[in-house]
Amino acid sequence: MKKITEPEKLQKWCETRRNAGAKIALVPTMGYLHAGHLSLIEAAKKEGADEIVVSVFVNPAQFGPKEDFGRYPRDPKNDEAKCKKAGATVVFMPADEDMYQKHHSVYVDEKELGKGLCGGRRPGHFRGVCTVVAKLFNLVQPHVAIFGQKDYQQVQIIKRMVRDLNFNVKIVMAPIVRDDDGLALSSRNTYLPAEARQNALALNAALEQAKADVKAKKRLAWAPYRTQIVRSLRAKSLNVDYVELVEQESLKPVEVLEKDTVLLIAVYAAGTRLIDNAIM
């Protein structure tokens, strides 16, 4: 496995491999890798990639001024070892100043899908996401890029960016990976004290109950059902940010809990923001 830190060298290497006929997959991450990230590498293999480029970059552009950029967990040596063991062929670990040069002034901003949910709560977040992903697409020129379902809104926004800006890349959404107790894996889970982590299991419990209810009853009025979910989360000392039901691609709110809708939840557990979702 190669480790590359300079964007220009990554671009040249990827261009050489692409011209040689290799199929290239990109797995963008912010590092502190866990089994969820490694499942994205496995998904890249299933797509038939000859070269798998994993980027490890804590992107400052997607953090707000009062968010956790400074304390976001980092372990580059361990990340590099995990990438090698999982079968990545390149790990890209650039410095902030190499990705955002002095007087950087050009950003990519999606205007519709990012209005609500996490975009509504974190102004500028998805502008930072789209900008760094667009830069990675330009550097790697991947045939396929793999993203995790846990960041469902992000995946839909990236798909829209690819469509609207004519990027020649296939976007694959890999399933959420959960711990044995059902908690969705996240680098931020390391922030959670034991009690808060136990309380956070209420997110997956609510999602699983919704899926079971949809299967049994087919269609349910959303407003009272949402109230029920919020009550169950608050009973576990979780500060509810949002509980929303939306269409899969447009992310527009819907009024009936039924098949093919997406239920998304964001809460604060002991001050740590957690997100989860399920496709009904």
Domain residue ranges of the chain, discontinuous segments joined by +: 2-174, 187-279
pLDDT confidence of residue 218: 82
Q: Indicate which residue of 34, 37, 104, 125 is catalytic.
A: 37
Q: What letter would DSSP give residue 176?
A: P
**Coil, helix or strand at residue 10:** helix
Amino acid 141 reads Q
Q: What pLDDT does residue 56 have? A: 98
Q: May I ask the CATH class of domain 187-279?
A: alpha beta
Q: Which of 170, 186, 166 is nearest to 266 (CA)?
A: 186
What is the model's pLDDT at position 223?
Answer: 97
H/E stretch holding 113 reads none
Looking at beta carbons, which pairs linking 105-108 to residues 24 or more positions away fall under 8 Å?
Answer: 106/131, 107/61, 107/131, 108/134, 108/161, 108/165
Q: Which residues contact 261 (CB under 8 A, 6 or more apart)?
A: 245, 246, 247, 248, 254, 279, 280
Q: Average pLDDT per run of 10 along the chain, which is 280 residues long?
A: 98 98 98 97 98 98 93 96 98 97 96 96 96 98 98 98 98 98 96 97 98 93 98 98 98 97 98 97
Angle at 122 between CA 121 and CA 124, to 5 degrees: 140
Q: In the CATH scheme, what is the homologous superfamily, with its name and number, of domain 2-174? A: HUPs (3.40.50.620)
Dihedral sign of CA atoms 59, 124, 135, 275 in order: positive
Rounded-to-integer distance, Cα 65 and Cα 186, Å: 21
- Determine whether 103 is an active site residue: no
DSSP state of 253: B
pLDDT of residue 96: 97
Q: pTM value?
A: 0.96
**CB-CB contact of 4 with 139 (8 Å):** no
